[in-house]
Amino acid sequence: MGAKYRLFGSETSPYSIKVRSYLKYKKLPFEWVEKGFGTEKEFQSLARSQALPMLVSPKGGVAHDSSTILTGIEQKVYKPSATPNDPACQALALLLEDYADEWLNKVMFHYRWNGAAAAKASAKRQAEHIFAGYEVENLADIEKSIAKSMSGRLKIVGSAKKTAPLLKASFARFLKLLNAHLEHHLFLFGGHPSFADFALAGQLIQMLHDETPGNMIRDTAPFVTAWCEFMEDPRSGAPFENLEAVQETLLPLIRDEVVPTYIAFASANAESIAKKRKTITFKLDGTDFKQNIQNHTNASYSGVLAGFTATPSTEAFVSFLKDAGLSDIVTLGEPAPETEVPEDTAETTEAATETPETAVVPDEPVPADAEAPPEANEAEQSPSPEDESGAELNAEDTGLTTKDA
């Protein structure tokens, strides 16, 4: 077998699971490296930020941002494809991927760290992964430190007493609508998973590990539950479908959930940043949702809007966007000459000149001063325990005592 990628990640990181599932789908040889006590030194020697995941290519390139990683690989390794054939579905896949990364992550983080019982269970599971293979004498103290640190970040992601009911209602609505869609489709856009599938599944697979959201998924969304299990190591089935084939159940998901939550949040965030404000306020279910601005959200949202601008306008897509409540938010490109969409372009295109074993993503390291991706800004920057100031704790300054198990 050729050279391998190395994926530094954590079983408790939704973005790590997103990338790992994608690498499996692409059939790329890779080594999964659990970031923890035993691998921290190597991680720090390679890292460009503290964010997970971190993918190291066979030629030494390093990338942290999950969307950047998927895009880089998709441009080099064509088969099996994760890019819908229909340009309209491509734009919607970008939208749903960003919804997962920037909004659903808020819900995941809220359920995991809001409440003493949830935080205690989550900290215990996180510590088990961090110190796997080691015996830790003061593990209980470390678990308390993790719970305190991560719970302290709730406000950063927008989880507060007033917003908690809004996040819970959003999740219940999302589950119902996604379950209705997956009842009729193997993946979001037909027989192949898209970037959106990997992003959504990454968050939901994490929530299946947490008691409250996990029970909600299993009890109310059987098709979502089965889909999450399949997305751990997905395989393509039938070809991608076009917008007409998926819009009946996809439209309610976007209109009733994505637009009122993610779009409202991202639009308010962009406006606040443009006006040099430090906070965001928008209406959700008739209630003010407030939090601090998010610079990475603004950058990724700009990419989503650009994706729509690059999509040729069609009568069907214009109608869909109008029904979804997006007509005044996104702008489409000029209509393209009418051509028949190939049955499965990605599956019949010649593969890239680089083989999957040697493709580099990216070959140039991310600049050290680049802004951290959302997984650093909004959620679990690192599975390592942190003190109140955010500095990582280590064996020396916490009195941690370990020995090989």
Q: What's the confidence (pLDDT) of residue 336?
A: 78
Q: If you average pLDDT over every residue of the chain, what do you get? A: 85
Residue that wins the pLDDT comparison between 339 and 145: 145
Residue carrying the six token digits 């998709």: 74
Domain boundary assignment for the chain: 5-77+353-404, 87-114+159-348
pLDDT at 84 over 60: yes
Q: What is the pTM of this model?
A: 0.85
Q: How confident is the model at residue 179 (pLDDT cuts 50, 70, 90)?
A: very high
**pLDDT average, residue stretch 49-60:** 93
Give pLDDT tens digits for 90-130: 999 999 999 999 999 999 999 999 999 999 999 999 999 99
At 340, is the pLDDT very low, low, confident or very high (cuts 50, 70, 90)? low
pLDDT band (50, 70, 90) for residue 338: low
How large is the average pLDDT for residues 158-177? 97
Q: What is the pLDDT of residues 207-255, one digit of tens each?
A: 999 999 999 999 999 999 999 999 999 998 899 999 999 999 999 999 9
Of the candidates 240, 234, 120, 220, the residue with the CA atom closest to the CA atom of residue 180: 220
The model's confidence at residue 2, banded by pLDDT at 50, 70 and 90, is: low
Q: Which CATH superfamily is domain 5-77+353-404 in?
A: Glutaredoxin (3.40.30.10)
Higher-confidence residue of 341 and 86: namely 86
pLDDT at 392 over 90: no
pLDDT at 226 (0 to 100): 98
| 304, pLDDT greater than 50 | yes
363: pLDDT strictly greater than 70: no
pLDDT band at 343 (very low <50, low <70, confident <90, very high): low
Task: Confirm if 219 and 147 have CB atoms less than 8 A apart.
Answer: no
Mean pLDDT of 381-400: 27
Q: Give the lowest-confidence range in 135-144, 222-231, 283-292.
A: 135-144
pLDDT tier at 342, thresholds 50, 70, 90:
low
The backbone torsions φ and ψ at residue 202, rounded to the nearest 5 degrees and listed phi first, read: -60, -45
Q: Is the dihedral of CA 385, 388, 392, 395 positive or negative?
A: negative
Q: Is the pLDDT of residue 381 over 80?
A: no
Query: Residue 398: pLDDT above 50?
Result: no
Residue 28's contacts (CB-CB under 8 Å, 6 or more residues apart) are 5, 73, 77, 356, 357, 359
Examine the pLDDT at 348 and tell me if it is beyond 60.
no
